[in-house]
Structure 1
Amino acid sequence: MTETEYGRGRQLLRVRGRGIAWVPSLLLLVGIVLVDLNTTERFRIISWIVLVPGTAAAICGVWTTGAFAVLAVVTYFAVDSAWPGEYRAGLGDFVLVGLGGILAVLAAAVRERKERQTLHIMRIAETTRRTVLRPLPPCWAGLEHAGVYLAADVEARVGGDFYDIQPGPHGTRVLVGDVQGKGLGAVEAAAALLGTFREAGYHEEDLATVAERLEVRMLRHRMHCTALGRDDGDRFATAVLIGFRADCPDVVETVNFGHEAPLAVGPRGVRELPSGDGLPLGLGELAGAPPPVHRVPLAADETLLLVTDGVTEARDRDGAFYAPAPDVARAVAAEPGLCTEPLSLVRRVRDGVLRHSGGRLGDDTTVFAVRRLAQEAGAGAEEPAGAGGDEGAEPGGPRS
């Protein structure tokens, strides 16, 4: 990492695109010199100039820190020499300033090395996030959508929440879910489920078959983890699987694996779709039968809102849970047209969760909204190559 790249990474130390990380150290040096020259011999502080390269080491690059180390030594010699011999700080402080400059340069080098390692880890995390939560075009396969993902672990930037859209010859399928637990094990399970969804969602004609494939994939993943001796062999995932068929524009098919019930949001209000009557993925063998496929009417002006338990379990200072349905209903009553748009709806819920919890997220939080386009051109089209999206509460863009 060059000093220029480092400066660009520290936005707080830039003004109009120019790096100003060197300014605090320069001001400190000038201040020490002025105080030393304008006070009596009883208050000599020129040796404090050792703080200048030390300050630079914390916020500047190696070369800038080295320049301040040399400048500190030269300034010390010049200012100390301006005093009569009996009042000079002497060789001892001169050695102190020189040694302090050398240590400051070494500290800056170590700091930059650690920062390069951190940036590398962040790039890996970003790549992992884009693999699990791939960017999606805002209008794709006959659907308009928006999503936001907020990781409880800000540094990790990715967790067990997942969502995706898969177009295919049998319609467009949507999957939103939450893997139990946190950490890399949850990310690995989410990636396994999404991989199966992208294949089965494209090839399988019946939504029930896609659901069965997801259940089998979760069981296989658990068996693999158990064989490796890992302690996440009992992991499960809640999920909602939705099918938009091109031949039924006013109906959607849903399969709920113990997940939060989707909300249909329209100008006439908010209604709840069938709740989680099935067991989570990975626990289906306890029920003896897969969860049923529900066919639910969905008007052309209604948007489906799906959230993970990070939303519904967000607490305020008094321990009260956040309730998205009443909050969204109030927004729809105030602005029926605007608040049913996926982007506006996602932003509303995201802001509501952060406001309710005071920004303290106890779990990964996902908000996803999707609705049919007025003209469903390309609903069964192949995936476009090179599809991308923006981050944040934007169409199709996850955020950490």
Structure 2
Amino acid sequence: MTEMEFGRRRPLLRLRGRSIAWLPPLLLLVGVILLDLYTGEDFRIITWIVLVPGIAAAICGVWTTAAYSVLSLVTYVAVDSAWPDQYRAGFGNFLLVALGGLLATLAAAVRVRQERQVLHIRDIAETTRRTVLRPLPAPWGGLEHAGVYLTADVDARVGGDFYDIQPGPHGTRLLVGDVQGKGLGAVETAAALLGTFREAGYHESDLATVAARLETRMLRHRSHSIALGHHDGDRFATAVLIAFPEDTPEAIEMVNFGHEPPLAVGPRGVRELPSGDGVPLGLGDLAGALPPVHRVPLAADETLLLVTDGVTEARDKPGAFYPLARDVARAVADDPRRAEPRLLVRRVRDGVLRHSRGRLEDDTTVFAVRRAEHAVGEPPERGRLRA
């Protein structure tokens, strides 16, 4: 990775799109020279020039730091030689400047190497995120959609929340969920469930069968984790599985695995759909049966809003929870156009961040979908993809 590439990745110290990281060390160099020349022989500060490569090591690349180290050493010799012998800083300070430049160059090399490692890790995390939460064309499967995913860890790019839309010959299916716990184990579980959903959601005609496949996959994944010795044998996931049948455009089918109940948002207000009357994925043996399939009316002008508990459990300073339904209802009452998925997701995202003052305690997902008007009645495979 070149210094130019690092410059592009550092939004600070840029002017009109170009890096100016080289400017502060240069200004310091000029300042030390001028001060040394104008403060007189009783106050020699030319030795301060050792700070120049030190500053460069913090904000510039290796070769730029090395160049400033050599420039500082040459400047030291030139400026110090201009003084009479009795006022010169001497050879000892020359060694100090030389050693300071060498150490600064080594420090810059270590910093650049660490930055490369961090960028590589972030690239891996971004690739993982795009694998687990794959980009969705808009519209997709006859649905307009918008989503936002915020991790509680500002340095993380992916966690246990997941969502996806899968069109197929039996209609379009939607899955939104939240894996219990954090870390790579939660990511692996989310990836396993999404993989099963993408296959079963396409091939299976019955939504109850898709739900059963998800439960089986959760149990198999958990057994595999236990066999590997991982300490996540009790991991589970809440989720909402939804089908948009082609033959009933005014209704949806839904299976709720103990997840936050979806909200139907439209010009007539906000209403809560059936709550999580079933146990989470992976705990089906406790209930003895999977959650039932509900058929719920959903008007063409209503948007389905699904969130994870990072939204509903977001707290303000006194400890009050974020009033999701009330906030959304007020926004839609003021402007019915805010029921559009993109605007609705933005409203909830901003509301959660404002309510919690940006301190999220859990991963937060906001996802909104509604039937696309131009795609109603079309087979999902014929939907036009847009970048």
Q: 1:293 aligns to what?
A: 293
Q: How does 1:178-197 map to 2 (within 5 A)?
A: 178-197=178-197
Q: 1:176 aligns to what?
A: 176
Q: How does 1:375-394 map to 2 (within 5 A)?
A: 375-376=374-375, 379-382=378-381
2-side partners of 1:388 and 1:43: how far apart?
69
Q: How does 1:204-219 map to 2 (within 5 A)?
A: 204-219=204-219
SS in 2 for 1:176: strand
2-side partners of 1:138 and 1:182: how far apart?
30
Q: 1:87 aligns to what?
A: 87
2-side partners of 1:76 and 1:378: how far apart?
79
Quick one: which amino acid aligns to residue 259 of structure 2? Answer: H
Quick one: which amino acid aligns to residue 283 of structure 2? Answer: L
Is residue 362 from structure 1 mapped to residue 357 from structure 2 by the alignment? no
Unaligned runs of 5+ in 2: none
Change over 3 Å in CA distance of 1:379–1:202 after alignment to 2? farther
Q: 1:343 aligns to what?
A: 342
Change over 3 Å in CA distance of 1:41–1:366 after alignment to 2? same
CA contact (8 A) 2:142 2:380 kept: no
Q: How does 1:298-337 map to 2 (within 5 A)?
A: 298-336=298-336
Q: How does 1:227-246 map to 2 (within 5 A)?
A: 227-246=227-246
2-side partners of 1:25 and 1:343: how far apart?
46
Q: 2:133 aligns to what?
A: 133
Offset of residue 8 of structure 1: 0.5
Offset of residue 379 of structure 1: 4.9
Offset of residue 153 of structure 1: 1.4
CA contact (8 A) 1:170 1:380 kept: no
1-side partners of 2:277 and 2:105: how far apart?
63
CA contact (8 A) 2:141 2:383 kept: no
Change over 3 Å in CA distance of 1:78–1:383 after alignment to 2? farther
Quick one: which amino acid aligns to residue 27 of structure 1? Answer: L
SS in 2 for 1:304: strand
CA contact (8 A) 1:200 1:210 kept: yes
Q: 1:397 aligns to what?
A: none
Q: What are the Cα deviations for residues 111-137 of structure 1, in whole angstroms up to 9, with x where unaligned?
A: 111111111111110100000000001
Offset of residue 40 of structure 1: 2.0
2-side partners of 1:380 and 1:3: how far apart?
51
SS in 2 for 1:12: coil
Quick one: which amino acid aligns to residue 171 of structure 1? Answer: G
Q: 1:108 aligns to what?
A: 108
CA contact (8 A) 1:308 1:367 kept: yes
Is residue 268 from structure 1 mapped to residue 268 from structure 2 by the alignment? yes
Offset of residue 383 of structure 1: 9.1
2-side partners of 1:75 and 1:97: how far apart?
10
Offset of residue 256 of structure 1: 0.3
Q: 2:203 aligns to what?
A: 203
CA contact (8 A) 1:32 1:49 kept: yes
Q: 2:62 aligns to what?
A: 62
1-side partners of 2:352 and 2:382: how far apart?
33
CA contact (8 A) 1:259 1:308 kept: yes
Equivalent residues, number: 387
Q: 1:353 aligns to what?
A: 352
- Using the size of structure 1 for normalisation, the TM-score is 0.95
Quick one: which amino acid aligns to residue 344 of structure 1? Answer: L
- Using the size of structure 2 for normalisation, the TM-score is 0.98
CA contact (8 A) 1:150 1:364 kept: yes
Q: 1:258 aligns to what?
A: 258
CA contact (8 A) 1:133 1:162 kept: yes
Offset of residue 154 of structure 1: 2.0
Offset of residue 17 of structure 1: 1.2
Q: 2:6 aligns to what?
A: 6
Change over 3 Å in CA distance of 1:275–1:224 after alignment to 2? same
Offset of residue 300 of structure 1: 0.6
CA contact (8 A) 1:255 1:293 kept: yes
SS in 1 for 2:29: helix
Q: 1:147 aligns to what?
A: 147
1-side partners of 2:297 and 2:244: how far apart?
11
1-side partners of 2:317 and 2:44: how far apart?
53
SS in 2 for 1:366: strand
1-side partners of 2:386 and 2:279: how far apart?
34
Q: What are the Cα deviations for residues 338-386 of structure 1, in whole angstroms up to 9, with x where unaligned?
A: 211000000000000000001011110000000001122685434989x
1-side partners of 2:4 and 2:376: how far apart?
47
2-side partners of 1:168 and 1:6: how far apart?
44
SS in 2 for 1:139: coil
CA contact (8 A) 1:141 1:378 kept: no
Q: Which moved more, 1:344-353 or 1:152-161?
A: 152-161
Q: What are the Cα deviations for residues 198-245 of structure 1, in whole angstroms up to 9, with x where unaligned?
A: 000000001111001000100001101111111001100000000000
Is residue 47 from structure 1 mapped to residue 18 from structure 2 by the alignment? no
Change over 3 Å in CA distance of 1:264–1:384 after alignment to 2? closer
Change over 3 Å in CA distance of 1:378–1:107 after alignment to 2? farther
Quick one: which amino acid aligns to residue 347 of structure 1? Answer: R
Quick one: which amino acid aligns to residue 129 of structure 2? Answer: R
Q: 1:25 aligns to what?
A: 25
Is residue 38 from structure 1 mapped to residue 44 from structure 2 by the alignment? no
1-side partners of 2:58 and 2:378: how far apart?
54
Q: What are the Cα deviations for residues 128-182 of structure 1, in whole angstroms up to 9, with x where unaligned?
A: 0000000001201110000000011122210000000000000000000000000
CA contact (8 A) 2:196 2:213 kept: yes
